[in-house]
């Protein structure tokens, strides 16, 4: 693994497929997971499932093929089913469960509902986490940038346009609010 990036890159690449397995233990802290090493081998997606008792990544197949396994590690978007846990010691993992504040949905969540940017919802957690990671680093992404950023996420229901429009709308609203 010499010379590779500290986390699996996003979108997933062939190289990232080598990064299975990890040893990790963690605890739930307001939607993030603080990682400490243990003698178990787990991927980040399994950690999130076991520590947060969540189902936000239930669509994940563990191969990085599509979207449900998106999480952020210290703010960086990764495919959790491919992330090597040993690399996450001391890091915070952002998950779909941490997106809302109490019973207040994140603007992206509200917009997805408002614009019907989801149908079956299997892909939705991954799209939301990915979109938030994009808006956190770029408050004014172009449509092309949004489509590229979300390219690792697959949706079999909506056809993508509603999702992209929702992200563009939220970005515009957040910029307006920040003025």
Rounded Cα–Cα distance for residues 147 and 138 (Å): 14
Q: Which is nearer to ligand FES, 117 or 135 (CB)?
A: 117
Please tell me whether residue 6 binds ligand FES under the rule CB under 6 A.
Answer: no
Q: Which is nearer to ligand FES, 7 or 66 (CB)?
A: 66
The string of DSSP codes covering 75-109 is TEEEETTT-BGGGGTT-EEE-GGGTSBTTB--HHH
Instruction: Show Cβ contacts of residue 4 under 8 Å, excluding neighbours closer than 6 positions.
Output: 15
Of 45-53, 78-86, 95-103, 118-126, the segment contacting ligand FES by CB under 6 A is: 118-126
Who's near 127: CB < 8 A, 6+ residues apart? 67, 70, 112, 117, 118, 150, 153, 155, 163
Site string for ligand FES, 136-175 (x = CB under 6 A): -------------------xxxx-----------------
> The tokens of 173 are what?
């609203």
Is 61 a residue that touches ligand FES (CB under 6 A)?
no
In the complex, minimum distance from the CB of residue 5 to ligand FES, in angstroms, rounded to a whole number: 28
Smallest gap from residue 122 Cβ to ligand FES (A): 5
Q: Is 44 in the site for ligand FES (CB under 6 A)?
A: no
Asked if 118 interacts with ligand FES (CB under 6 A), we say: yes
Residue 122 as a binder of ligand FES (CB under 6 A): the answer is yes
- Please tell me the distance from the alpha carbon of residue 25 to that of residue 41, in angstroms, as a whole number: 10
Match 């992209």 to its residue by tokens: 164
| Min dist. Cβ of residue 65 to ligand FES (A) | 13
End-to-end CA distance of the chain: 45
Could you list the residues that contact ligand FES (CB under 6 A)? 118-124, 155-158
């Amino acid at each position: 693994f010499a010379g590779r990036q500290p986390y699996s890159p996003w979108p997933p690449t062939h190289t990232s497929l080598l990064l299975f397995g990890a040893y990790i233990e963690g605890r739930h802290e307001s939607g993030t997971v603080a990682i400490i090493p243990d003698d178990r081998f787990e991927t980040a997606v399994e950690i999130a499932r076991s520590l947060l008792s969540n189902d936000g990544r239930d669509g994940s197949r563990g191969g990085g093929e599509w979207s449900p396994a998106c999480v952020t590690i210290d703010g960086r978007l990764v495919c959790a089913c491919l992330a090597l846990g040993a690399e996450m010691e001391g890091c915070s993992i952002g998950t779909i469960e941490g997106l809302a504040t109490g019973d207040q949905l994140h603007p992206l969540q509200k917009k997805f509902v408002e614009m019907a940017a989801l149908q079956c919802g299997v892909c939705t957690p991954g799209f939301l986490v990915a979109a938030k990671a994009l808006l956190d680093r770029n408050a004014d992404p172009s449509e092309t940038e949004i489509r590229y950023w979300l390219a690792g996420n697959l949706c079999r229901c909506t056809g993508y346009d509603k999702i992209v429009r929702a992200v563009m709308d939220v970005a515009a609203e957040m910029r307006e609010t920040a003025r």
